[in-house]
Amino acid sequence: MKIAVLGGGHGGFASAVDLTMRGHRVSLFSFSVERVNSLNDAGGVLEYEGVWGEGRCKPALITSDMGAAVDGAELVMMNVPGTGHEKYLSELKKHLSPETILYMNPGHSGGALRAAHILGRGRIAEANTLSYIARKTAGNRVRVSSADKAVSVGVFPAQETEEVLAVIRQAYPRILTARDVLETSLSNINAVFHPPGVILNAGWIESTGGKFRFYYDGITPAVGRVIRVLDDERMAVAAAYGLSLVNFCTMFFNAGSTTAEAAEANDPYLACQQSYANQFIQAPPSLDHRYMHEDMGSGLLPISELGHLAGVAVPLTDALVVAAESMTGRDYHAEGVNLEKMGIAGLSVEQVLKFVQKGKKAQ
């Protein structure tokens, strides 16, 4: 299958390596002309280490021309931080055919709805988290510590779920079927994970430049308790839309990132202490980082917005967003994925549920 992978970051590299090794014809796109030229000057070869051992592979195409990357692709996959979605989607709109499936891996919170609003079409899928735990270690090298996780995938509109997932399963056979994109958007692990870790460790991050293990050292028992309360608010919002979701620790376990003991205890601190795939990942070097910008604007803010639409109180969620705005000087309520950007402003819960199912708003 021809697959276009959009994004030259950690997830994009991991995806391009994985899918190339498994026999798919992969086009890797990045907006960075300098990065693309550097890769092609080195022979267009990507190096990898980690769960697949060590090796090299060569995608069919590495390019900064999105039209060339997408041309003829049966599946277009975005491995892009939430802060880059609008830029990528605006350019993709010029090249994406109506039949081609867009898979946002991951979609973060509200990603598929924002994509549908920008593209004006459906056949969009989103994963609740990235299929890999990966970090680039050099210009053409990526270390992958977890791969092909059994992530949940929702489809917009939901009535096309089986048809769309049948195509995605040719690349990712282990994906799980979500009810709709509300389920995946409200199952965003990072949204309840990174913001408390960054905000409550802000002094440590700024004084050390992030020279500590974010998940292992930064998620202390107290931070873990904040994560659990924040997670309770997320699940209350989900319940207002008829969803009975598992807690953070169970999601973390299902993603292969912690132990059954931690999941059973519902203890985020223990889950991080027993997260061997994440234990050596360093903290952000500053607050100007995707753990803040992405996981606020494309994580907690849309959960807050969905909560307010449904009349669900989310005081801790709101407090963290406001605290982040104070710390960074950013207006996440305006720049993030709000109800307008999801295309559901002014709708009732019932109307939202019908919209995500059918892809059309009731008159």
Report yes or no: 259 and 211 within 8 Å, Cβ to Cβ.
no
pLDDT in tens, 133-178: 899 998 899 999 888 788 999 999 999 999 999 999 999 999 999 9
Topology (CATH level 3) of domain 189-358? N-(1-d-carboxylethyl)-l-norvaline Dehydrogenase; domain 2 (1.10.1040)
Residue 141's DSSP bridge partners are: 47, 138
Q: Quote the Cα angle for 360-362-363, to 5°.
A: 120
pLDDT over 90 at 122, yes or no: yes
Topology (CATH level 3) of domain 2-185? Rossmann fold (3.40.50)
Structure tokens at 159: 């009535």
Domain boundaries, the chain: 2-185, 189-358
| pLDDT in the model for residue 353 | 98
| pLDDT in the model for residue 319 | 98
Distance CA 101, CA 333 (A): 30
Structure tokens at 326: 């104070």
Which percentage of the chain shows pLDDT scores above 90?
A: 91
> Is 133 in a helix, a strand, or coil?
strand
pLDDT over 80 at 362, yes or no: no
pLDDT over 70 at 363, yes or no: no
CA distances from 271 to 41, 149, 184, 204, 231 (A): 43, 17, 21, 21, 14
Q: Is the peptide bond prior to 106 cis by the omega test (within 30 degrees of 0)?
A: yes
Distance CA 28, CA 18 (A): 12
Residue 154's DSSP bridge partners are: 126
CB atoms within 10 A of CB 212: 14
Distance CA 258, CA 250 (A): 9
Which percentage of the chain shows pLDDT scores above 70?
A: 99
> Is 259 in a helix, a strand, or coil?
coil
Q: Compute the Cα dihedral for 333, 255, 213, 17 and give only its sign.
A: negative
Report yes or no: 281 and 203 within 8 Å, Cβ to Cβ.
no
Buried b (16+ CB within 10 A) or exposed e, 14-48: bbbbbbbeeebbbbbbbbeeebbeebeeeebebbb
Distance CA 283, CA 113 (A): 30
Distance CA 161, CA 35 (A): 36
Helix (H) or strand (E) holding 75: strand 75-78
Report yes or no: 224 and 249 within 8 Å, Cβ to Cβ.
no
pLDDT in tens, 10-30: 999 999 999 999 999 999 999
pLDDT over 90 at 241, yes or no: yes
pLDDT tier for residue 349 given thresholds of 50, 70 and 90: very high
| pLDDT in the model for residue 279 | 83
